[in-house]
């Protein structure tokens, strides 16, 4: 089913850094890039994260580290790195969640460009250089790579191509989602963020990155997009659990965040509306998985029944109007018969994959399109669970 109103990619020739002109070199030399990390209780990962930033091929950077009230040694490790590297500034604050931490980064950053890194992730040595090359070739205020490495997938893409997406297309790609949700793996023009007063919304407990990137994309004419993997997203952080608290923070939190986006997104078209309707369906499925995985159907009886109803009621309109694959159409339609049975199967498959890690592409085929949303929001919860 073709997605109406979405522009085709505009491929930009000559996208290798090696072939750049002298004007490109000026950007790569003179622009200060703020690399921002917000972390909570990731002592086993934060050292590798900071080291990967320090060793960037592009060295004109400042490193802003926010310790969001960690109760382990995360903050101490940050301070130790700062003592050895004058480019590093550490902000210690009371625990306020990722929204407060990332807004603190926005306030502290002094660079021409800004990027976010999660405290348990890593950058490839050419991350900043590659992102700046996309800026140079597209002149877009927001750029990204459509792909990233994961803990279980270290295969680089075979062909790199830099393209531009319209604001409409970018927003739809985020909602379906065809790229990983989150504010990371992207580079933003700091003046652009300040001009449009783009910040993370207080009160959102999960999905705050989706709100930020869709809002940012809505204020652009286009965003620059590359294909090469230059960011490693960790998917094997074992410090997570499914509980009643996760239902509140993740399941209900996801629905609240999408309701906020649906109400406040400044760019609306029929194509975007269809993508949002798909994301609503995904969120109800995600919330149902949280409830059933935590075995709290009685405690959340009303929400449990609502999720079942919405998955059935929305299934046919989603299949008829959304830009989804045939595989996902079948997955959605199966929920008309029994959302509970399908959800039980998805939970079982995801637990099997945790026990026997496989590549991300295999996982997505087995649990359906909802797996991306599940992983992104589950990862957010890992760092918020103790808050």
Note the pLDDT tens digit of each residue in 143-199: 999 999 998 889 999 999 999 999 999 999 999 999 988 999 999 999 999 999 999
Model confidence at 21, in pLDDT bands (50, 70, 90)?
very low
* Of 333, 251, 259, residue with least CA distance to 288: 251
Residue 25, pLDDT > 50, answer yes
Cα 63 from Cα 113, distance rounded (Å) = 12
pTM of the entire predicted model: 0.85
Query: What are the Cα distances from residue 41, in Å, to 23, 51, 68?
Result: 42, 17, 8
Q: What is the distance, to the nearest Å, from the Cα of residue 97 to the centroid of all Cα atoms in its chain?
A: 16
What does the mean pLDDT of the chain come to? 88
Higher pLDDT, 17 or 137: 137
Nearest CA-CA partner of 367 in 384, 387, 344: 344
Q: What is the mean pLDDT of residues 288-308?
A: 96
% of the chain surpassing 90 pLDDT: 76
Q: What is the pLDDT of residue 209?
A: 96
Confidence of residue 379 (pLDDT cuts 50, 70, 90): low
Instruction: Check whether 22 has a pLDDT greater than 60.
Output: no
Q: Which residue has the higher pLDDT, 242 or 40?
A: 40
Other residues' Cβ atoms within 10 Å of the Cβ of residue 258:
20
pLDDT exceeds 70 at position 98: yes
Confidence band for 249, pLDDT divided at 50, 70 and 90:
confident
Alpha carbon distance 197, 362 (integer Å):
40
* Residue 231 to residue 219: CA distance in whole angstroms: 25
pLDDT at 366: 43
Q: What are phi and psi of 34, to 5 degrees?
A: -90, 115
Alpha-carbon gap, residue 254 to 249, rounded angstroms = 8
In the predicted structure, residue 91 carries a pLDDT above the cut 60: yes
Helix, coil or strand: residue 141: coil
- Whether residue 355 is predicted with pLDDT greater than 90 in this model: the reply is no
Query: CB count, 10 Å around CB of 35?
Result: 28
pLDDT at 353: 79
Q: What's 55's DSSP letter?
A: T
Instruction: List C-alpha distances in Å: 304 to 22, 202, 349.
Output: 60, 27, 21
For residues 50-64, one letter each, b for 16 or more C-beta atoms within 10 angstroms of the residue's C-beta and e for the rest, the string is bebbbebebebbbbb
Q: What is the pLDDT at residue 314?
A: 97
Distance (Å) of CA 209 to CA 17, 214, 257, 350, 367: 29, 9, 10, 23, 23
Which contiguous run of DSSP H or E holds residue 187?
strand 186-189
Least-confidence region, from 111-125, 182-196, 240-254:
240-254
pLDDT above 50 (res 384): no
């Amino acid at each position: 089913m073709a997605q109406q109103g979405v522009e085709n990619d505009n491929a930009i020739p000559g996208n290798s850094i090696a072939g750049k002109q002298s004007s490109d070199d000026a950007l790569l030399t003179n622009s200060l890039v703020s690399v921002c990390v917000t972390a909570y209780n990731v002592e086993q990962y934060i050292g590798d994260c900071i080291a990967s930033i320090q060793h960037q091929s592009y060295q004109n950077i400042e490193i802003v580290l926010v310790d969001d009230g960690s109760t382990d040694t995360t903050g101490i490790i940050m301070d130790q790195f700062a003592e050895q590297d004058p480019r590093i500034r550490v902000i210690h604050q009371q625990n306020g969640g990722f929204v407060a931490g990332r807004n603190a980064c926005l306030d502290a950053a002094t660079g021409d460009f800004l990027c976010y890194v999660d405290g348990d992730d890593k950058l490839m040595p050419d991350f900043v250089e590659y992102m700046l090359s996309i800026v140079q070739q597209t002149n877009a205020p927001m750029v990204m790579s459509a792909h990233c490495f994961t803990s279980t997938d270290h295969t680089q893409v075979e062909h790199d191509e830099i393209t531009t997406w319209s604001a409409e297309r970018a927003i739809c790609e985020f909602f379906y989602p065809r790229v990983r949700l989150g504010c990371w793996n992207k580079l933003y023009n700091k003046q652009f963020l300040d001009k449009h007063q783009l910040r993370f919304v207080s009160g959102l407990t999960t999905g705050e990155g989706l709100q930020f990137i869709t809002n940012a994309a809505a204020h652009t004419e286009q965003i620059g997009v590359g294909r090469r993997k230059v960011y490693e997203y960790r998917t094997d952080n074992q410090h997570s659990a499914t509980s009643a608290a996760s239902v509140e923070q993740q399941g209900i939190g996801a629905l609240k965040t999408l309701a906020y986006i649906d109400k406040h997104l400044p760019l609306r078209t029929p194509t975007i509306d269809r993508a949002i309707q798909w994301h609503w369906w995904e969120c109800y499925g995600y919330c149902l998985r949280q409830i059933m995985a935590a075995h709290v159907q009685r405690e959340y009886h009303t929400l449990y029944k609502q999720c079942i109803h919405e998955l059935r009621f929305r299934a046919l309109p989603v299949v008829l109007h959304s830009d989804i694959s045939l595989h996902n159409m079948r997955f959605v339609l199966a929920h008309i018969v029994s959302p509970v049975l399908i959800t039980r199967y998805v939970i079982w498959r995801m637990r099997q994959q945790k026990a026997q890690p496989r590549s991300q592409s295999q996982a997505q085929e087995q649990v359906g399109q909802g797996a991306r949303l599940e992983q992104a929001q589950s990862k957010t919860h890992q760092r918020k669970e103790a808050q």
